A and B are shown apart, each in its own frame.
Chain A
Amino acid sequence: PHAGPVESKNEAAMSELVPEPRQKPVVPMKPMGINTSLLGYIGIDTIIEQMRKKTMKTGFDFNVMVVGQSGLGKSTLVNTLFKSQVSRKSSGWNREEKIPKTVEIKAIVHVIEEGGVKMKLTVIDTPGFGDQINNENCWEPIEKYINEQYEKFLKEEVNIARKKRIPDTRVHCCLYFISPTGHSLRPLDLEFMKHLSKVVNIIPVIAKADTMTLEEKTEFKQRVRKELEVNGIEFYPQKEFDEDLEDKTENDKIRQESMPFAVVGSDKEYQVNGKRVLGRKTPWGIIEVENLNHCEFALLRDFVIRTHLQDLKEVTHNIHYETYRAKRLNGNGGLPPMTVETEENHESNL
């Protein structure tokens, strides 16, 4: 704070651009609600409400991709996450269909609404990943798809006459399903995450965690974390993007203790202790999906949806997209020349 009057005149005649912000010690405002008289209250804090109203009106987009070998329960988990039939399998596809020969990318779009908030949810499935005998480079179609979405956005952004709201099809979150072998990560897992963690937010998830005991789970998680660290794989939330100390402490705890989340998915309900819960029924008991003692599904759900949804989008937009854009505008920077795919890959539920 300055001692005397702050010299803050900035003559802006012809060429002056950005004025220097000066810290000016200001008469402190009386906090809202304490003082009822008009004196002292300006109303700047109403911008929060104004902003909230605006965002409720425009709605949100969220695009999540699921990657993992078939049979790991990806579709079920997504349905459980969003408490509705949003996965590809539920959208009228035959469960007995053949495993594709190459990795395919199938995106389904749904609109879901809750509490006045409308969300356009896109679930991108990757059937065929890791299912071949020779899985070399099977992540390439996925990487290509992700880059194509960045390309689409970039093209829209550099238009002269731009849309008011550029449609966002970029992948905000990629859930990578790890097989609950109990031993360690497979080479395919490492290769995939190494390549893709640089272009998209990867959240590793241990699938079908009901096949492990608590001790096995803890050990497996530790080993997986170690392996990821040794291989230099930065999964979301990435350390380098922590904005402040508060973020860092919060995210450190998640990174070092909770992740990867060991989950169980289910869209069936059972009666447990008088309540209807989502679960899996086995001869030896009912596994309650949302019970934190049984699995970490609730942690994953809270993490992805209730606390970090907006952050996932922001990291995608401010960091991954910007990286792509910079590379692209710097003369292709190693990227293959783009041929933008049209809407043929976006499956719709007709």
Chain B
Amino acid sequence: QGEGCRTVPLSGHVGFDSLPDQLVNKSVNHGFCFNILCVGETGLGKSTLMDTLFNTKFEGDPASHSQPGVQLKSSTYDLQESNVNLKLTIVSTVGFGDQINKEDSYKPIVEFIDAQFEAYLQEELKIKRVLHNYHDTRIHACLYFIAPTGHSLKSLDLVTMKKLDSKVNIIPIIAKSDAISKSELTKFKIKITSELVSNGVQIYQFPTDDESVAEINGTMNAHLPFAVIGSTEEMKIGNKMMKARQYPWGTVQVENEAHCDFVKLREMLIRVNMEDLREQTHTRHYELYRRCKLEEMGFKDTDPDSKPFSLQETYEAKRNEFLGELQKKEEAMRQMFVQRVKEKEAELKEAEKELHEKFDRLKKLHQDEKKKLEDKKKSLDDEVNAFKQRKTAAELLQSQAQQAGGSQTLKRDKERK
């Protein structure tokens, strides 16, 4: 309430008490989304726990231990219960804790979380934006899986959680807790909590400001980290089918609160605080990211006049930058085009030259051949001429000889006479 705002009594039923219903109906029509990030070493049962929590068999093959680096695998599912449509995204680390050198293991996780914030921020900064239809991918809850060693947190755990605590709601859980006995578990939980406190790791606290949930949330806060077991296999226990893990020495029931904290986790994560997790992500973690990012870009909340204008200036600058880049790209493309044309031209010229050369060669060859043939013809003609001459000469000689012979015979005849 602002100053000077007075409360007036109503003299009858107005009807705006239906407002929460109107709002809820709109949200239901719109659908909800919830994004969980599971961080933990390979083999700690992350996928199984998700299957157990949401009562489904989500897709995926178990990961190997030989991943070269830490990666994040993300899948989105549409779940429906009563009239509520939930778009659930589960992101899991792959290969976390498997490397020999784990110094940079936390980095891909932090980068992923930041990337989702960045995507939202970009959408929010757009001039023409569609925020109410935006598929929110920001991580609402981070389940950090602690290995059930029974001793203390690993240094990797501390380092990673410290890097994540200002970016996401961390809910630490002890995985595969059927490996620890009850008494060890209590000591383990105390050790973990004290280590988190002494290292200044801020984990998510279930909210205690609303009286209706203050009590249960307060109690649950004291049970952190939750010791969970996951199982999708159902066994007949008594006369009911229950999710359980069967050992030779007994059966561990997942939903038995005396056996593990699975029910508490489900209660807290989904049935009581899902909305608060979403709200904290948006109003605290995202705002922090946005503030840091904008300050990084050089903005300050100096005087009230400067903001829309300075942001407008940025938009101007961004737009000019963008146009400039476009122009540069266009120029580069034009250059490349010209270059390509030149190259093609050169190629074609080369080809042309070659063709010409070939043509010349062939022509020369042809001429040579022709000359040869002509020479041959000439020699042949010469031979023919020579032959003809000889023939004529021979004929002449023959006729001469005949004449001489005739004259000779005449002469002989004369002599006889």
Contacts and interface: CB of A to CB of B under 8 A. Distances in A.
The DSSP consensus for interface residues of chain A is: loop
Contact of B15 (A12, A32, A160, A301): A301
Nearest to B312: A329
A40 to B, nearest CB: 6
Contacts of A32: 81-82
B59 A6 contact: yes
Contacts of B24: 48, 51-52, 55
Nearest to B75: A8
Nearest to B5: A109
Interface in A1-53: 5-24, 26-29, 31-32, 37-48, 50-53
Contacts of B26: 310-311, 314
Contacts of A164: 283
The DSSP consensus for interface residues of chain B is: mixed
A334 interface: no
B221 to A, nearest CB: 18
B197 to A, nearest CB: 27
Contact of B56 (A18, A26, A50, A243): A26
A161 to B, nearest CB: 6
A115 interface: yes
Interface residues of B, number: 105
A60 B365 CA distance: 100
Interface stretch (A76-84, A95-103, A217-225): A76-84
Interface stretch (B173-181, B182-190, B294-302, B368-376): B294-302
Contacts of A162: 287
Interface in A131-178: 151, 154-155, 158-162, 164, 167
Interface string B4-24: 111111111111111111111
Interface in A67-95: 81-86
Nearest first, the 5 closest Cβ-Cβ pairs linking A and B are A348-B4, A115-B17, A50-B275, A310-B22, A43-B271
19 contacts: A7-B59, A16-B72, A19-B76, A32-B81, A43-B81, A48-B84, A55-B20, A60-B19, A81-B14, A110-B8, A111-B6, A111-B7, A113-B7, A114-B14, A115-B17, A160-B300, A306-B15, A311-B22, A311-B26
Interface of A: 5-24, 26-29, 31-32, 37-48, 50-57, 60, 62, 81-86, 109-117, 119-120, 151, 154-155, 158-162, 164, 167, 243-244, 278, 301-302, 305-311, 314, 318, 322, 325-326, 328-331, 340, 348-350
